[in-house]
Amino acid sequence: MVERTLELSEPLSFWGGVDPATGEIIDVHHPQLGENISGVILSMRSGRGSSSSPSVLAEALRLGHGPRAIVLEEPDPMVWLGAFVAELLYGIECPITIRGPLPTDS
């Protein structure tokens, strides 16, 4: 099975940036507006912003519209917390890994 990866060009706030009922990116200022995070390996530099983001990520995972896994360039405690809460409350895993910047990244 080939996993689909969605590489975001900008950080994403789950709060106000993702519809947890669909997985669609709804932030009108995000370059990937309209893309969907459901079931993908979501790759991005980091999350952005709000301490409410963990609840939206956990809810998206609970509803089956969260990412399968998340790859970050830098640690983000709010993204980690959302995945942790989903596993703790709902038994749904969303692994997170930190890859650091690629050698070709500036």
| Catalytic residue list | 50
Report the 10 Å Cβ neighbour count for 99.
Answer: 10
Distance of alpha carbon 52 from alpha carbon 26, whole angstroms: 16
Distance of alpha carbon 23 from alpha carbon 104, whole angstroms: 30
